[in-house]
Amino acid sequence: MSTPRFIDAILDWHPTWFLARLALSGAYLLGGVVKLTDWHGAVAEQAHFGMQPAALWAALTIAVELTGPALILSGRLVWLGAGMLGVFTLFAAITANAFWTMAPGSAERFGATNAFFEHLGLIGGFVLVALVAERERRRG
């Protein structure tokens, strides 16, 4: 079955590529800006998850959350930006959503399990963004 014309039109529309990358990386960009404007909150968040020294981890988080989306949205070094956010997302999922350490059957474990696998889905999205960008680059 062929793709409907209106879907082809949406997929061929040049802004769709940018909007898809913005949708995938926008939460990270916003998170970086919020942390940058609320340094004390960013440090407290890292301390909450046991990351020490918290200020160093806050600075690294801000750097990744701002640089990764900037690379993805600029269309330059997309593989690097996607890789940064993918690794960051995996690390964050393991740190913040360690469902395997929680009581079986608990609401906390249920929520953490869902969040963990949602993060894996985001990582898959970053891999796809890198693949599409590389294919577009090879097409020239």
Q: What is the pLDDT of residue 84?
A: 98
What is the pTM (predicted TM-score) of this model? 0.92
Q: Which residue has the tokens 């593989």?
A: 79
Tokens encoding 96: 């913040």
Q: How many domains does the chain have?
A: 1
Residue type, 104: P
Structure-token pair, residue 58? 């806050």
pLDDT digits (tens, 9 = 90+) for 30-43: 999 999 999 999 99
pLDDT digits (tens, 9 = 90+) for 91-132: 999 999 999 999 999 999 999 999 999 999 999 999 999 999
Range of the domain at 54: 5-139
The count of other CB atoms within 10 Å of the CB of residue 121 is: 9
**Sequence-separated (6 or more) residues with CB below 8 Å from residue 22:** 73
Mean pLDDT of 67-80: 97
Cβ-based neighbour number of residue 11 at 10 Å:
11
User: What would the 3-class secondary structure string for 90-122 be?
Assistant: HHHHHHHCCHHHCCCCCHHHHHHHHHHHHHHHH
User: Quick one: DSSP state of residue 4?
Assistant: P
